[in-house]
Amino acid sequence: MTKRINMRGNKLAEKHGLSHTRLHRIWHSMYCRCYYPSTNQYKNYGGKGIKVCEEWKHREGFINFYDWAINNGYDEKLTLDRIDNEKDYCPENCRWSTPKFQSNHKTNNVFYTFNGKTQTSKQWCDEYGISQTTFIDRLKRGWSLEQALTISTKGKHRKVFDCRNREVEDVWIVE
């Protein structure tokens, strides 16, 4: 990496040559989410009091963030993840995670407990081999969690009507 030193006023500024890298975009997005109200995600970060630690803050902080990332498992396939979503961005509270892992670590996830095990709907659907749409639709129709997860998707959905054409029952017929 070539480093150039420029004078800005009385301040020395180091040009790191990393401004167009994925790591710089990650750092910049993290910073904007916490400090710029015009950013789409500000309400979920800065609006909730989430900050960037002094070590990673401002222009000088990018090099510290870069060094932390390289020394803590950064990979092009991973995303920056806060361990505790209520705490700030800092070396002690951040890690590199797969997008799948991170999607199961969001504050707006809904968790379901079945047979003593608690997971997100996505995790349950992956385990039982059904689509999330099917799972959520079944729960909206009043199915129990056990039925929504364990009844085969190979059956057919039928509505049963009485003699006055009023819906009496919503049934699932397994062939």
Residues of the domain holding 20: 4-103
Same domain (yes/no): 118, 94? no
**pLDDT over threshold 80, residue 69:** yes
142: left (phi over 0), alpha (psi -120 to 50) or beta: left
Helix (H) or strand (E) holding 138: helix 132-140
* pLDDT (tens digit per residue) in 75-124: 999 999 999 989 999 999 999 999 887 777 777 778 889 999 998 888 88
Q: How many domains does the chain have?
A: 2
- What the block records as the tokens of 122 is 């996505």
Last residue of a domain, one of 103, 135, 161: 103
**pLDDT over threshold 60, residue 55:** yes
Last residue of a domain, one of 103, 128, 153: 103
Same domain (yes/no): 125, 44? no
- What the block records as the tokens of 49 is 């009091």
Q: What is the pLDDT of residue 60?
A: 83
Q: How far is the C-alpha of 135 from the C-alpha of 125, rounded, in Å? A: 7
Q: What is the pLDDT of residue 58?
A: 82
Q: Which residues in 65-101 are b (16+ Cβ under 10 Å) and which e?
A: bbeebeeeeeeeebebbbeeeeebbebeebebbeeee
Same domain (yes/no): 135, 72? no
DSSP string of 96-138? EE-HHHHHTT-TT--EEEETTEEEEHHHHHHHHT--HHHHHHH
Asked whether the beta carbons of 39 and 33 are under 8 A apart, the reply is: yes
Same domain (yes/no): 17, 74? yes
Asked whether the beta carbons of 128 and 134 are under 8 A apart, the reply is: no
**pLDDT over threshold 80, residue 148:** yes
Last residue of a domain, one of 59, 87, 103: 103
Same domain (yes/no): 118, 139? yes
Same domain (yes/no): 124, 44? no
Same domain (yes/no): 67, 137? no
What letter represents residue 129's amino acid?
G
- What the block records as the tokens of 70 is 């390289």
Q: Is the pTM of this model over 0.75?
A: no
Same domain (yes/no): 135, 77? no
**pLDDT over threshold 50, residue 52:** yes
Same domain (yes/no): 90, 115? no
Same domain (yes/no): 155, 87? no
